[in-house]
Structure 1
Amino acid sequence: MRKTTLVSALYQSLLDRLLANELKPGEKINLDRLRGELGVSISPLREAISRLTATRLIQFEDQRGYTVADVSMEDFREVMEICRNSECFALERAIRDGDLTWESNVTAALYRLQNTESNFGSPESEMAHRDFHLTLVSACKMPRLHDLIGQIAIAQRRYRGLIDIRKLSDRSADHVALAEAALARDTERACEVMRQHIDGVAAETEVLLARYFAAQSAPDNRPATRP
C-alpha cells in the first residue's frame, strides 16, 4: 500500500476510534502501543496523527506529546455557536448562488434522510443527516468556510458520540422546512429555521451531556490512563 493511501486509512481508522470514544478524552497517546495494535511503522502513524491535530481532536504539547483533546460543556457551546453562525451564513450564500443542480441535490439529500429517519440514531441515519446539511450549503462558493463547517461537524459528531442520540427529539419537520425554504429562495425563513433547528438540538444535547459529565466525575467512573 502506498504511504499516502496508508496514512489516509490510518487517519480514518483513528478518527473513527476518537468519535466512538474508544480513545478517551485526556488520554495520552502511546505511539508504540498504537503502532503495535495497528501493525504499521511509526512514520505513517505519526503523519496520520499529525493530520488529526487539525481536527482539534488530538493535541500536541512539548514535553507531553500527543493527547486526546478534553471535552467540556464550554467547548460544546462554542462548537454549537460556530455551527449556527457558519451554517446560516453559508446557507445564505448557497441560496443566492445555487443552481438547478444544487436544487436537485437538496431534494435528493432530503429524500435519503427521510428514508433513514425511521431508524434514527443508526450510522446510516447519522450519515444521511450530515449529508443533508452539507448539501444545503454546498452551493456556497467559499472553500475556507466549508473547511470550517467540516471541522465543526467532526466536533459535533464527537459530542453526539458521548450521549444516546436516540433520546433527542424527532426533528424531521425541521429538515422539510429547511429544504422547502431553501428551494423557494426564502433566505430569511431558511436561516430562521436553521437557527431554531441548531439551537434546539444544542439545548437537548446539553442536557444529556450534563448527565454524561456528572457520571464521568463520579469516583468509580473516572477513566484510567493507559500506560
Structure 2
Amino acid sequence: MNTRVNDEPAGGSLTDLAYLLLRDRLVMLEIKPGEPINEDRLRTEFNLGRTPIREALKRLEQERLVVAFPRRGTFATDVNISDLSHISEVRRTLEPLAAAAAAERATSEDRAGLTELRSQLDTATPSGDNTELLRTDVGVHRAIYRCVHNPFLEDTLISYDNLATRIWCVFLPRLSGMAGHVDEHGPLLTAIVEGDAEKASELATQHVVGFERAIRALI
C-alpha cells in the first residue's frame, strides 16, 4: 500500500512545495524537536531558492511546527505531552464534525476515491512498521478532510492532526496495537461512502478518544 503523507501541490507555487516537504518532515519528526532549521541545506536538498523556503517557514511557524528566535535562527518546536489534552479537546469537537460533513458532502468522485482507499486498507499486508502505519493513518485523515469541501475547516483539521501525529511519533517505539488503530478507518470510510453522517461522527469520536487513551497509557 502506498499512502503518502504529503500532498503534491496541484499547480501550486514553489512556496507550496517547500511548505509540504518541510511540513511532513516536521510532523513525522524526521526533523527532530528542537533541531535548528538549516536553510542553506534545505535550498540545496530541495533545489529551491531562499524565498520559497523562508515563506514556507513563516507558514509553519503559524502552525506551531517551527519557532523563530531573533539572531538565533529557526528551530523545530518541541513536542510537549502537556499539550495532549488541549489538542484532544479540539479534535474531539472537529473530527466528528468533519466526518459527518464528509458523509453528507462527498462527491461521487470523492466516494469512489474513499472506496479505493478502503480497499487498499483491507488488502494491505500487515506491517509491524509503526512509522509506516502512522503515515497511512495521516493519509487517511487527509483524504477524509478533503471531502468536507471547506478549505478553512480542512486547514484547521490538518493543523491539529499534525500536532497529534507529532505526539504519536514520540511514543512510536513503545506503542502496541498501531495496526488496530489504523484498521479503525475501514468502518469510518464505509460510513462516509454510504452517507451515514451519524455513524461517521460516532466512529470519528471513538478514534480520537482511542488515540488519547493509548498515549495516556504510556505517560
TM-score by structure 1 length? 0.71
Contact preservation (8 Å) 1:168, 1:201: no
Q: For the residues of structure 2 that align with 1:20 and 1:139, how far apart are their CA atoms?
A: 24
Structure 1 range deviating more: 51-60 or 64-73: 64-73
Q: Which runs of 5+ in 1 are unaligned?
A: 211-227
Contact preservation (8 Å) 1:19, 1:157: yes
Displacement after TM superposition at 1:176 (Å): 2.7
Root-mean-square deviation (CA, aligned residues, Å) is 3.1
Q: Does 1:18 align with 2:23?
A: no
Contact preservation (8 Å) 2:81, 2:167: no
Q: Does 1:160 align with 2:173?
A: no
Displacement after TM superposition at 1:20 (Å): 4.5
Larger radius of gyration, structure 1 or 2? 1
Equivalent residue runs for 1:98-177 within 5 Å: 98-116=106-124, 118-121=126-129, 124-164=132-172, 167-169=176-178, 170-171=180-181, 174-177=184-187
Contact preservation (8 Å) 1:35, 1:45: no
The corresponding residue for 1:84 is 92
Residues 121, 54 of structure 1: alpha-carbon distance in 2 compared, 3 angstrom cutoff: farther
The corresponding residue for 1:202 is 212
Say which SS state the counterpart of residue 161 (structure 1) adopts. Answer: helix
The corresponding residue for 2:56 is 48
1:49-70: per-residue Cα shift (whole Å, max 9, x none)?
2232133111234565533322
Contact preservation (8 Å) 1:119, 1:125: yes
Q: Does 1:70 align with 2:75?
A: no
Q: For the residues of structure 2 that align with 1:98 and 1:9, how far apart are their CA atoms?
A: 26
Residues 62, 115 of structure 1: alpha-carbon distance in 2 compared, 3 angstrom cutoff: same
Residues 89, 65 of structure 1: alpha-carbon distance in 2 compared, 3 angstrom cutoff: same
The corresponding residue for 2:6 is none
Q: For the residues of structure 2 that align with 1:177 and 1:16, how far apart are their CA atoms?
A: 26
Contact preservation (8 Å) 1:35, 1:41: no
Residues 74, 122 of structure 1: alpha-carbon distance in 2 compared, 3 angstrom cutoff: closer
Displacement after TM superposition at 1:14 (Å): 3.7
The corresponding residue for 1:214 is none
1:4-37: per-residue Cα shift (whole Å, max 9, x none)?
53x555545543543343544345x365xx5257
Q: For the residues of structure 1 that align with 2:123 and 2:24, how far apart are their CA atoms?
A: 24
Q: For the residues of structure 2 that align with 1:174 and 1:72, how far apart are their CA atoms?
A: 26
Write the letter of the residue equivalent to 1:49.
L
Contact preservation (8 Å) 1:181, 1:190: yes
Displacement after TM superposition at 1:172 (Å): 5.2
Q: Which runs of 5+ in 2 are unaligned?
A: 1-12
Residues 19, 101 of structure 1: alpha-carbon distance in 2 compared, 3 angstrom cutoff: closer
TM-score by structure 2 length? 0.74
Q: For the residues of structure 2 that align with 1:193 and 1:58, how far apart are their CA atoms?
A: 32
Contact preservation (8 Å) 1:112, 1:128: no
Residues 20, 180 of structure 1: alpha-carbon distance in 2 compared, 3 angstrom cutoff: closer
Q: For the residues of structure 1 that align with 2:139 and 2:75, how far apart are their CA atoms?
A: 30
Contact preservation (8 Å) 2:131, 2:172: no
Q: For the residues of structure 2 that align with 1:61 and 1:175, how far apart are their CA atoms?
A: 40
Residues 185, 21 of structure 1: alpha-carbon distance in 2 compared, 3 angstrom cutoff: closer
Higher relative contact order (Cα pairs below 8 Å, separated by 6+ residues) = 2
